Amino acid sequence: MVQIVIILGIALFLTLILSKADKVGKGGLISILLFVILAIGGSIYLETENDRYSENMKRLVLDYNSDKNISCGEYTVNQKDFNLASNSFVAKKGKFGGVIISVEECFEK
């Protein structure tokens, strides 16, 4: 959200300076407005994706710490067989030895 306010502030500042100097016509103002709209849309999209990723991570960590089984591709991850480290599930010694699974593989689509 802070990014949106900063972008709006910069765009408003540029619009005021350039419009007072009569260096920008209608095309220039439309270009600035289009830039602001695209920047706001991009910021909202990135913020939404970041929130979705954070929620998925919280859910996975909570499920893992609650000793629930988590489906990650072809594997079923749990505390008995895997450790959670650096956004990855690392298999303990045993039947899955050497397997490393990125948490992104466990996110619901």
Query: DSSP labels for the chain?
Result: -HHHHHHHHHHHHHHHHHHHTT---HHHHHHHHHHHHHHHHHHHHHHHHHHHHHHHHHHHHHHHHTT--EEETTEEE-TTTEEEETTEEEEPSSTTTT-EEEGGGGS--
Average pLDDT over residues 28-41: 78
Residue 36, pLDDT score: 77
Per the model's pLDDT, the better-predicted residue between 34 and 66 turns out to be: 66
The structural domains of the chain, with segments of one domain joined by +, span 1-66, 69-109
* Residue bearing the bigger pLDDT, 70 or 33: 70
Whole-number pLDDT of residue 1:
63
pTM above 0.85, yes or no: no
Instruction: Indicate if the pLDDT at residue 43 is higher than 90.
Output: no
Q: Is the pLDDT of residue 24 over 90?
A: no
pLDDT tens, position by position, 56-69: 999 999 999 999 99
- φ, ψ of residue 82 to 5 degrees: the values are -135, 150
